Amino acid sequence: MASGCSSLAQMERSVVFQPARYPDGNWRPADAMFEDASFTSSDGTQLHGWYFPCENRRATILYCHGNGGNVAYWASAARQIRDRVGSSVLVFDYRGYGRSEGQPTETGILDDARAARLWLARREGIPERQIVLLGRSLGGGVAVDLAATDGARALILESTFTSIPDVAQTMFPLLPMRWLMETRFDSKAKIENYHGPLLQSHGTDDRTIPYAIGRRLFDSANEPKQFLPIPGGDHNDPPREAYYRVLSAFLDTI
């Protein structure tokens, strides 16, 4: 029985966390203009990220990426945010991703995000609560946890969920996934404790995290909040021009 439970837990982790380790990806992107960031999580795990500075920044953004790839895969998204909305951005790898040490776990990557936020606050010379938290997909669960626990200047969520078991239940409707899964990222329960500005977007044709799940998370959030549906958008579609216009206007209000 114990062996069966262990195998189930390993399978769960392999689905939830899909890291690409260095040297997978393009680690020398052309004209990226970034700095390497190195910092340490609370348990001593060495972590790595890429910092995209913006001289006349509108905001400072911590980018919590999705469950796959590494910073080399997510650099374009971070660079686009810097260039299109005039903000400094740190995109970092959770433990077990890219050049970061260790193996990913829910508790571990939440600690990693706090270490990344601390590094970014010190680099920019601002309080941690002045950092804007942006979470995409799995990173939404990370960003919500930080915002709900510690506060934030603003919270931006892209294509994310109420909880990991809720997503799994849609994939395996005949199995009791909400009972079986150890990994939770229960954003729906946590977001009630966040009281700052929220911008949330979600593709209406998302086949990985259903649109309805994203809407339920948004409905649980406090005001002030804004929801941007992406008509016909699927989970891994790149952001559209309309998204950057809304994001830019949102940052002007915070």
Residues carrying an active site annotation: 137, 206, 235
Terminal C-alpha separation, the chain: 52
Q: What is the CA radius of gyration of the chain?
A: 17
Contact criterion met (CB below 8 Å) for 172 and 185: no
- Whole-angstrom distance, CA of residue 147 vs CA of residue 157: 11
